[in-house]
Structure 1
Amino acid sequence: MMDIDRETVVIIGAGIVGVSTAYFTVKKLAKQHSAETRPRVVLLEQCEPGCSASGKSGGFLARHWSDGTDTEQLAQFSYDLHAKLAQEHDGAERWGYRPLNTFCAEIDRIPVMPAKQHKTTHQRSESGSVVTSIEVIAPRSSNSSAVSTMEYSNPATPSTTADDNQQSHAHRSIAVPDLSSVKEVSPDTVPWLKTRLVNKLRQVGDTSSTAQVDPLKLTRSLLTEARALGLEVIRAKAIDVAETGYRPPVIEFSVNNKASGDSGQPRFPDIPENAQPTTVVESININKKKRGTSKSYIVLLDQGQDIPTDKIVVACGAWANSCLRWEAFRDVSASQIPIQGLRVHYLLARPKAPIPAQAVFAEINGTVYSGEDAIEIYPRPDGSVFICGEALDDPEMPPHNPLEPVYSKRATGRLKQIVNDVSPALTYEMIQYGLACHLPVHAKGIPVISKVPSSKGLYIAAGHGCWGILNGPATGLAVSELLVDGNCTSLDLSSFRLDRWY
């Protein structure tokens, strides 16, 4: 039977940050305590480990691409930590860790059929977006029109100041280093691209400074190691966190299964799973019950249980703002964790022939595209190739269910077409198509890794954007030191404190 008087830590979110935090926490505790006295560590996840960005990203690692920014120390430390973890747990075999060469390709123009001409016009709509119309003028035939038009909108580019630079980077895919001093190499260096289309090719990383992992395999492998050291994993959703002295609100429903026929019925949170869209919720009774416990907090789960705990870590990525609804986080404002989800689309393909360990950041500027498209291509050791891009949306609040499909058919189709233009060999066999995830982006482009000021034991670690896989392990180690030792000695976390910006 679990000793409820033992210290308890609850980590909410089983992505790379939450799992890394759990892994390093139980590892530290195992060295300091016997199995009988060891504090309890619980990891909460409402879906599956790595079900969002931590399982649906490229897994690219770069040691120096954050140099000169607030995350320089974090990135360098975490890059080296990835290598140590891979050596300790056979990461090359278990999660595809390997160093690789990295290139930036500039493709000036995607050619079109000589028989066709394109006329492009731009107009600004009332909403401020730029609507681009492309007229494809083809030879006339008896069964086709002479002109077909395709339209799409681009978000209006806001003016930025020096203080906004971090924010603008957060809304892009991975930003490559300054190329002004990087020498060009022959397009034949990356022969699996259409070399005749490559205007410029630069090598921006080698096996000493860039590497890759399969992020889903990494996340789940670290979870396996943590469970072997005593980590408890509970599949449930935290719906409230309260300070002890009373129980958080318990919502009781009286349900009438008679169809109402009114599609405008209000949607209440946490309606029973068997409720249908036409279910009428007749009444809601909210009670607060006294709860006697020596713990500082109580985590209320959607299944009706609660977990008394001493410390809580919010590490749920693009869903980190959920904690703003919880009673214990009442002193945290939305301006302190301006984290939302940037929707990025991706494909997973298997080429006919193996692709060498060469990551490519391709920027395409051509007549059939608006302005500039950028895609990232990551061949993996198992023979698959991960391709991502088309981050067309402004950051948004992601759906409540991380497994809910969020992809745009237009965006995934566009991404596939770009890949076909750049390297047809990559799409010989499509393993996964029409997929997207939400990257957790902070408005300033800098993650939060911090204890909540004046709290007894509340912590937030989220908002890592496109560098979550790179910086996840170091973030987890840093938070584990805060939890176990009371302060972080491995890293300077002053740049990531909750109250830095507001």
Structure 2
Amino acid sequence: MTFSTLHYYCLFLTVITISPARSFCLSMMAATTKPPRRIVVVGGGIQGTSVAYHLAERPEVEQVTILEAKSPASAASGKGGGFMARGWGDGSPTQRLHELAFDMYEQLAPALGCTSYRKLPVLSVSAGYKKGIALARKNPQLASILPNWLDGDEYGRISPLGLGDDTAQITPSEFVEKMLQAKSDKITVVLGTCHGVETDQGSERGNRKVFGVKYAPRGETEEKMLAADAVVVSAGPWSCAAEDWFLGAVQLPMEGVKSTSIVWAKPKNEDVDATALFCGEDDRFGTHLEVHPRPDGTIYICGIGGSDYISTDELKAGAFREECNAKDTRAEAAKNSFQQMSSMYRTDGELDRVQACMRPCPPDAIPYMGAIPGYEGAYINAGHNCWGIAWAPACGKAMTELVMDGQSRSIDLTPFDPSRFTPAAQRGGRGRKKKGMSVGEQW
């Protein structure tokens, strides 16, 4: 039986709704579909690079091209804290992402040669009660993990959030760099801005098949094309532009939360103990600090407050993609708040840098992970909120399974359906254009 004959036989079985035969037929069709060999990943942050890395692990993949607007890890992946916690899931569908990614980091980071990965304890610290440190030092469990730099007197109750068995950190930019180095034989980074996809009639009735990705090289205006059998959109908050690339086949509402963070330089002649802090609201400064010491002796601090909220339309237009400026007033508030907690940094501390980045937030705070309806070879992996760095290895693995095998085995992607905000009648948007030309019929 030829593929064409099999195809029409399957359509016949579908019409008469014979479930066992239809299931068998679909399985046979899937077996005859060749997995993609040339794949473009739009976005060079830790999520996009993780997808590219895991795709490059597959022997049947010949080439993975990362299309990145600025440079790898130039946005949140170059500025985020890199904290992860295996057991901090809330019972929602994302809990499995916490667990799988944490375990994968434990294996991948040493294998890739990452020096910034380590497990570390975590404390909860509240503000406004000056005897907190004295009480904590009397508690043997707490005393063993109190960091040397937590020596001020302007904070209150201290309690453990993690003892270092299921909490860890990594510097995300290093992880991105190491993944690219490890798969340099298969992964190519192209700098440019994505303009959309090129498609042709697919093998299934009503679907369009991706055969290329349109882009303008960085610093140029002339449009070019990257040949591709499949595309994975993984461009953080700017991934919502895919609404237009796929002609309205899917709606991807997104809000960018633009936040300031600071990094303290390593104090001279001082070691910096490895304990992270999650602090309560400090009404004096309008902060709720997250404090993350790193192996290089710097301390990264976020939770500064005063975030800006960027709309879907602004993100589609590329808002803050090229330059994302910090708020000096919020950086000063964070500095003052932290110095109340640490006399070491109050007397000898110097800021290394002040920065800002965005996290991508769908309306339900659940990521978009799955296939674009109405298209063959089109996928999205975006909207991971504040956990994008922590979940990256699991997302890369799950998306690779979906792209190459037709289904993710490691993660149930059903709750992350990219079409969940798209009206049923609108999903797919099939056949409205062919290579940019309107055809006026449903394929």
Taking structure 2 as the reference length, the TM-score comes to: 0.76
Contact 1:244–1:298 under 8 Å retained in 2: no
Corresponding residue number in structure 2 for 1:456: 376
The one of 314, 325, 341 aligned to 2:233: 314
Contact 2:285–2:334 under 8 Å retained in 1: no
Corresponding residue number in structure 2 for 1:138: none
Corresponding residue number in structure 1 for 2:117: 97
Residues in 1 aligned to 2:282 and 2:93: alpha-carbon distance in whole angstroms: 31
Residues 238 and 190 (structure 1 numbering): CA distance in 2 closer, same or farther, change over 3 Å? same
Corresponding residue number in structure 2 for 1:350: 265
Residues in 1 aligned to 2:308 and 2:364: alpha-carbon distance in whole angstroms: 14
Runs of 4+ residues over 3 Å off in structure 1: 183-188, 397-401, 426-432
Corresponding residue number in structure 1 for 2:158: 201
Corresponding residue number in structure 2 for 1:435: 355
Task: Report the RMSD for the aligned CA atoms in angstroms.
Answer: 2.7
Residues in 2 aligned to 1:500 and 1:66: alpha-carbon distance in whole angstroms: 22
Query: Aligned ranges for residues 82-121 of structure 1 at < 5 Å?
Result: 82-91=105-114, 93=115, 96-108=116-128
Deviations 1:51-101, CA, capped at 9 Å, x for gaps = 00111111001001114122111110111011010232232x2xx100000
Instruction: Using the TM superposition, name which of 400-409 and 310-319 deviates more.
Output: 400-409
Q: Could you tell me how far 1:436 is from its partner in structure 2?
A: 0.5
Instruction: Using the TM superposition, name which of 414-423 and 481-490 deviates more.
Output: 414-423
Q: Could you tell me how far 1:332 is from its partner in structure 2?
A: 1.1
Query: Aligned ranges for residues 8-407 of structure 1 at < 5 Å?
Result: 8-28=38-58, 30=59, 33=60, 38-91=61-114, 93=115, 96-108=116-128, 185=142, 189-228=146-185, 230-244=186-200, 296-303=210-217, 304-326=223-245, 328-333=246-251, 337-352=252-267, 353-366=270-283, 368-370=284-286, 373-396=287-310, 397-398=314-315, 399-400=318-319, 402-407=321-326
Partner SS for 2:374: coil
| Matching residue's letter, 1:387 | I
Q: Could you tell me how far 1:364 is from its partner in structure 2?
A: 4.1
Contact 1:295–1:309 under 8 Å retained in 2: no
Residues in 1 aligned to 2:168 and 2:46: alpha-carbon distance in whole angstroms: 17
Residues 319 and 391 (structure 1 numbering): CA distance in 2 closer, same or farther, change over 3 Å? farther
Partner SS for 1:402: coil
Residues in 1 aligned to 2:234 and 2:380: alpha-carbon distance in whole angstroms: 6
Instruction: Using the TM superposition, name which of 355-364 and 16-25 deviates more.
Output: 355-364
User: Please, which runs of 5 or more residues in structure 2 have no aligned partner?
Assistant: 1-35, 132-139, 202-207, 218-222, 423-443
Contact 1:390–1:411 under 8 Å retained in 2: yes
Instruction: Using the TM superposition, name which of 480-489 and 192-201 deviates more.
Output: 192-201
Contact 1:62–1:210 under 8 Å retained in 2: yes
Residues 188 and 296 (structure 1 numbering): CA distance in 2 closer, same or farther, change over 3 Å? closer
Corresponding residue number in structure 1 for 2:418: 498
User: Please, which runs of 5 or more residues in structure 1 have no aligned partner?
Assistant: 1-5, 112-182, 246-293
Contact 2:50–2:396 under 8 Å retained in 1: yes
Q: How many residues of Structure 1 are paired with residues of Structure 2 in the alignment?
A: 362
Greater strand proportion: 1
Residues 316 and 426 (structure 1 numbering): CA distance in 2 closer, same or farther, change over 3 Å? farther
Residues in 2 aligned to 1:420 and 1:358: alpha-carbon distance in whole angstroms: 17
Deviations 1:261-281, CA, capped at 9 Å, x for gaps = xxxxxxxxxxxxxxxxxxxxx
| Matching residue's letter, 1:100 | L
Residues in 1 aligned to 2:333 and 2:118: alpha-carbon distance in whole angstroms: 30
Greater helix proportion: 2
Tell me: higher relative CO, structure 1 or 2? Use CA pairs within 8 A at least 6 residues apart: 1
Taking structure 1 as the reference length, the TM-score comes to: 0.67
Residues in 2 aligned to 1:392 and 1:18: alpha-carbon distance in whole angstroms: 28
